[in-house]
Structure 1
Amino acid sequence: MLYKKQKEILLICQAAQEGRNLTFLMKLGGYGYCLARDVMEGVNYLHNCRINAFPLHLILVDSAAIAAGDLRELVMLQEIRRQMPLLVVNHGGESSRKGILDRLQPPSGGIYFCGPEEVVGTVKYLLENHPQGSDEKENNSEALRLVRDF
């Protein structure tokens, strides 16, 4: 019997309840995950994965964690995460999305947004359709909005 390797996701959540909600959803989806309490802890985990060749397929960040992260942390997050999609769970609508993009600054390719109710479907879509290690920026799903050239 062949077993598929479990997909690994880094969850970065500022609020404890949001972290519990997302870990519950990832368990139900059959994904492996690591939970970071803030952007700096997430950046440290990403760096550790990179130097030790640990698999990581997606970064899932709560918009509150991005709002709380300082500029240096966000730049490091952008630099380290280049080969996988970054999914932002946005609780505040379009105006909040623009504020998040302003905080993340370029490069913006590979950044996706979804609402809290769309997390499971969006994670599944990205893991099935985003080529690992690629800078491919085409995305035909209406549920996802790829951020480019804002």
Structure 2
Amino acid sequence: MAHYTDDEASLLAVAAHEVGHAIACAAAGITVHSVRLWDDRGQVHGDSVDTRDQAKVDGYLVMLLAGWAAGAEWLHRNHGYSRSAALSCERRGSRSDWADFRRKKRQGSHSGSWYEHQAQKLVRANWNRIDRLAHRLADTGRLSGSTFR
């Protein structure tokens, strides 16, 4: 396990969170335009989702939770948290994503726990890429959308 200062760990967890969103966008066929990171916040800019396309809606809902799952996975793998403690900690840091998910999940075709499981599964399957891109995002503050095509 690598050793990071608290500031480095916080920045990398946020970077992993944002890269998790972007990886999930790409997996759902949602075009990513850019990923930005500043201070203790980040943002993924991507295409809007056509709510008439159920597969895209379901992918969008997984994407909302993939940031939470990626931030938690980073804490678990790199900062000594148990998986359950990391998920709980990251959930507090992902309040706006969870609020958006709760507002929109009725448009989905699955249960809330299905989306949680899919987000965690996607993150674990793409972990090496997420970790590598999180470091690059933390270093540069920006990733272009072409990174996720």
TM-score by length of 2: 0.28
Higher relative contact order (CA 8 A, sep 6+): 2
TM-score by length of 1: 0.28
